Amino acid sequence: ICTDRALILLRHMFDCTPRSLPLVPSALDDFDQWRRLRTGSTTPRRREWPRRKKVAVAPTAAAAASLDSTLKLLLLGLDDEASPMSTLRGHADMAHAIYEHVRHWRASALCINGVFAASIGQVEFPAPRGLYCNMMPFQMPDCIRMSDGEWKETIPPAFKGYIPLIEACPLTHSDEGKIGYLTVHESQIAHEGGTHRRAGLHTESPGRVHVDTTGATGAFVAPPAPGALTFFWGGGHYMQHSEDARGVFEGGIYTASSVGGSMQVWNARVADPRAIGPLGDVDKFRPLLGAGSTLDAGELLWMTDQTPHESLPLPAGTYRQFFRLVTSNVSGWFAAHSTENELGILPPPSVAIISQDKFELARQLVDHAKAAATWSSPCTSTSDIKHGVRGLNVGAD
């Protein structure tokens, strides 16, 4: 891939800007949640994120190697006599046009101007007990300004130690009293360099799929056409009507970890669901994102379900506690991979209960994408390729 002409093409396309998490002071100024962030002896703190200058980074071999499969196919095809792309030799203008086509689509799919991840404050984890639950339904607080409420009775006794962390999340009226989803994972890293949660750059939303709620089975299906419904996993957006107004985190996901340096996040959003791969894979965007932000121990993070993030490798023997609260905007609940609430709390009727294995469903989507990733017509000459550029399905890689 890293031939001279490939890097010449790449050099014109990459402008990687390191981005850091914004702390949004106006989001919590004069807001009751500041008092609720003081769990135990921990007090909230604000972090001043320094402004970073835009830095142009020349592409490297590592950057070229991490490109998405469509670009890899293009660059490899230039040197493959058996590939129709080999007819582009000596026609750098057409190779560049194809690259521009893909780059433009990538740029339109990735949004980096806005607040898509924000550091909220510090929380204190309870004593570890080896607990585990994943996407367990419970009733979120009826009123975010009340210290007590019936909602706490929907938390199983084993997980009540995480109530202060739930209270630390600045929920809005749109989520009050609705069903949220709690994930707690307390365990030790078994192997050197292992990750506690999912490795690889991904989003919580699996992207361009939707749940067919017309049947009784809750089928997980590929979209019939571009622009089909996004599979929501909390949604999320930040609203601030003016610089002087108090901002609000609507929906989204709240997460924290007891081990610093175990999670990395980017203040970005993959806005086009067609660009999100199976199970939320967005590794194709890594060269465009620049440097991410690594969370400290006990740092409470808010993000959207389309925000790129990843779990980082840890030394063997590291004990980590993980907390996540997914708010009410969820399209489906994977019964085979989620934890039932022993108190009988279920997802609302609007959320499809999906019985299929999500990894098998992802494999089916990959097969579907491979079948769709074709040219609109056979290309046997440079002229054919020129006419075929518009037929390249850049979204099905």
Q: What secondary structure does DSSP assign to 347-359, as a single string?
A: --TTSEEE-S-HH
Range of the domain at 206: 20-49+112-356
**Residue 235 region, left (φ>0) first, then alpha (ψ -120 to 50), else beta?**
left
- Short-list 238, 262, 233, CA closest to 125: 262
Q: Looking at the structure, do residues 166 and 287 belong to the same domain, yes or no?
A: yes
pLDDT of residue 303: 95
Chain centroid to Cα 359, Å, comes to: 17
Q: Is the residue at 278 inside a domain?
A: yes
Q: Looking at the structure, do residues 119 and 150 belong to the same domain, yes or no?
A: yes
Mean pLDDT of 277-284: 83
Q: Looking at the structure, do residues 322 and 223 belong to the same domain, yes or no?
A: yes
pLDDT of residue 334: 83
Q: Looking at the structure, do residues 97 and 245 belong to the same domain, yes or no?
A: no
Domains identified in the chain, total number: 2
Mean pLDDT of 295-320: 95
Q: Is the residue at 369 inside a domain?
A: no
Mean pLDDT of 210-220: 47
Q: Is the residue at 361 inside a domain?
A: no
Widest Cα–Cα separation across the chain: 72
Q: Is the residue at 365 inside a domain?
A: no
Q: Is the residue at 366 inside a domain?
A: no
pLDDT of residue 389: 37
375 pLDDT higher than 60: no
386 pLDDT higher than 60: no
- Short-list 239, 255, 254, 251, CA closest to 328: 251
Q: Is the residue at 103 inside a domain?
A: yes
- What CA dihedral angle connects 221, 181, 319 and 313, to 10 degrees? 40
| Structure tokens, 252 | 């989204």
Q: Looking at the structure, do residues 70 and 129 belong to the same domain, yes or no?
A: no
Report pLDDT digits (tens) over 224-280. 444 445 677 788 888 877 777 777 899 999 999 999 999 999 999 998 887 888 788
Q: Looking at the structure, do residues 222 and 138 belong to the same domain, yes or no?
A: yes
pLDDT of residue 355: 77
- What CA dihedral angle connects 169, 173, 176 and 182, to 10 degrees? -30
Q: Looking at the structure, do residues 250 and 279 belong to the same domain, yes or no?
A: yes
Q: Which amino acid is at 140?
A: M
Mean pLDDT of 114-124: 93
Which helix (H) or strand (E) element contains residue 98?
helix 92-109
Mean pLDDT (the chain) is 74
| Structure tokens, 333 | 């609940």
Sequence-distant (≥ 6) Cβ neighbours of residue 158 within 8 angstroms: 129, 131
Per the CB < 8 A criterion, the answer to whether 176 and 144 are in contact is yes
pLDDT of residue 208: 61
User: What does the DSSP 8-state code read for residue 202?
Assistant: B
Q: Looking at the structure, do residues 104 and 231 belong to the same domain, yes or no?
A: no
Q: How far apart are CA 208 and CA 210, in angstroms?
A: 7
Minimum mean pLDDT range among 50-59, 82-91, 264-273, 297-306: 50-59
55/300: higher pLDDT: 300
Q: Looking at the structure, do residues 100 and 184 belong to the same domain, yes or no?
A: no
Q: Looking at the structure, do residues 242 and 282 belong to the same domain, yes or no?
A: yes
180/3: higher pLDDT: 180
Q: Is the residue at 364 inside a domain?
A: no
Q: Looking at the structure, do residues 382 and 312 belong to the same domain, yes or no?
A: no
pLDDT of residue 153: 93
Q: What percent of the chain has pLDDT over 90?
A: 34
Report pLDDT digits (tens) over 326-339. 999 988 888 888 99
pLDDT of residue 183: 97
Q: Is the residue at 326 inside a domain?
A: yes
Per the CB < 8 A criterion, the answer to whether 189 and 339 are in contact is no
Is the C-alpha dihedral spanning 31, 36, 37, 43 positive or negative?
positive
User: What does the DSSP 8-state code read for residue 229?
Assistant: P
Q: Looking at the structure, do residues 150 and 62 belong to the same domain, yes or no?
A: no
117/287: higher pLDDT: 117
- Short-list 68, 201, 97, 180, CA closest to 133: 180
β partners of residue 121:
300
Is the C-alpha dihedral spanning 308, 331, 207, 359 positive or negative?
positive
321/218: higher pLDDT: 321
